[in-house]
């Protein structure tokens, strides 16, 4: 989970092994920007019996739209195919045949409405490569890039929008990979955004699931899928659907990865927590 200096539960993170967490994160010591409290066991820990997600009264995304922002001129020379891979994934999510995103449809708002999916959730891709991403951007810098993305796409203040800030190879957004997360989502005050580090840079021994099912880019689909689903059910990071122990719908299910076939291809994904099933499921 992710917690700010006031102690409010913020975005649930895909966490790394406890031994990789920095001292400030492990102890909750104050430092500039939000804090990350890591407690990721050797195997993913399910909520205790009766700890289904509970509704906190905040918004959910009824018609999610995802915008990918590839931050920095470093992406001009990247040859790993990540923009194409994630573009393909989000062109499949929400489209016909996607019964993974629809797991989130059970998580309704105060009016009893839940997320619906009638077409690809991808709203746009921006290669923000006029200048280099800083090597060590702060949490605030990542949030600001999320706001820049929202402004670029004209979706500032749009409750259904998600901005995914994808950092470049060799960068360390918000202290990654020593801050205790593989990625996290949060709310800038005007838009839901995700801090998505360059997963292939994760060190040996990390819980970031590189090659989990044999694919070079498995961690990008597993980790970003996790944050996408949690951004749908808890877009303001803490007042949507959250379990009593602070977990969001991806957190109890960080194992049991499977290949999910969408209309645009097959992608490594993780299960999501279903209140209906009181457990982790891979499809609706």
**75 near 84, Cβ under 8 Å?**
no
The reported pLDDT for the residue numbered 188 is: 97
Cis peptide before 26 (omega within 30 of 0): no
User: Residue 81 in 3-state DSSP?
Assistant: coil
CA 197, CA 91: separation in Å to the nearest integer?
A: 21
Return the number of other C-beta atoms located less than 10 Å from residue 275's C-beta: 16
pLDDT digit string, tens, across residues 88-141: 999 999 999 999 999 999 999 999 999 999 999 999 999 999 999 999 999 999
The reported pLDDT for the residue numbered 167 is: 98
Q: What is the pTM of this model?
A: 0.88
Burial of 110 (0-12, 13-18, 19+ CB in 10 A): exposed
Pairing mode, strands 183-187 and 192-196? antiparallel
The reported pLDDT for the residue numbered 204 is: 87
Strand partners, 125: 68
Pairing mode, strands 13-14 and 183-187? antiparallel
Indicate whether 218 pLDDT > 70.
yes
The rounded percent of the chain whose pLDDT value lies above 70 is 82
The reported pLDDT for the residue numbered 47 is: 52
Q: Which is more confidently placed, 76 or 13?
A: 76
CA 266, CA 218: separation in Å to the nearest integer?
A: 10
Q: What is the mean pLDDT of residues 176-195?
A: 96
Buried b (16+ CB within 10 A) or exposed e, 67-84: bbbbbbebbeeeeeebee
pLDDT digit string, tens, across residues 48-91: 544 899 999 999 999 999 999 999 999 999 999 999 999 999 99
- DSSP conformation class of 134: P
pLDDT digit string, tens, across residues 251-284: 999 999 999 999 999 999 999 999 999 999 999 9
Q: What is the mean pLDDT of residues 1-17?
A: 39
């Amino acid at each position: 989970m992710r917690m700010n200096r006031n102690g409010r539960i913020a975005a649930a993170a895909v966490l790394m092994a406890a031994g990789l967490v920095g001292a400030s994160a492990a102890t909750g010591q104050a430092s500039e920007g939000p804090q990350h409290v890591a407690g990721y066991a050797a195997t993913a820990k399910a909520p205790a019996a009766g700890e289904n997600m509970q509704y906190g009264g905040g918004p959910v995304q009824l018609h999610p739209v995802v915008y990918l922002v590839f931050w920095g001129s470093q992406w001009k020379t990247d040859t790993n195919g990540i923009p194409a891979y994630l573009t393909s994934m989000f062109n499949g999510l929400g489209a016909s045949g996607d019964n993974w995103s629809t797991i989130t449809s059970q998580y309704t708002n105060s009016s009893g409405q839940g997320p619906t999916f009638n077409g690809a959730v991808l709203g746009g891709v921006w290669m923000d490569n006029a200048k280099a991403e800083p090597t060590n951007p702060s949490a605030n810098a990542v949030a600001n890039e999320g706001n820049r993305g929202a402004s670029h796409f004209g979706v500032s203040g749009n409750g259904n929008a998600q901005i995914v800030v994808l950092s470049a190879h060799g960068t360390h957004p918000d202290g990654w990979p020593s801050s205790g997360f593989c990625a996290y989502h949060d709310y800038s005050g005007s838009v839901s955004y995700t801090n998505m580090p360059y997963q292939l840079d994760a060190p040996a021994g990390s819980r970031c699931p590189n090659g989990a099912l044999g694919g070079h880019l498995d961690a990008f689909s597993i980790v970003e899928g996790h944050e996408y689903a949690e951004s749908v059910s808890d877009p303001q990071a803490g007042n949507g659907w959250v379990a009593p122990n602070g977990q969001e719908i991806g957190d109890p299910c960080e194992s049991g990865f499977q290949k999910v076939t969408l209309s645009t291809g097959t992608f490594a994904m993780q299960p999501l927590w279903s209140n209906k099933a009181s457990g982790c499921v891979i499809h609706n």
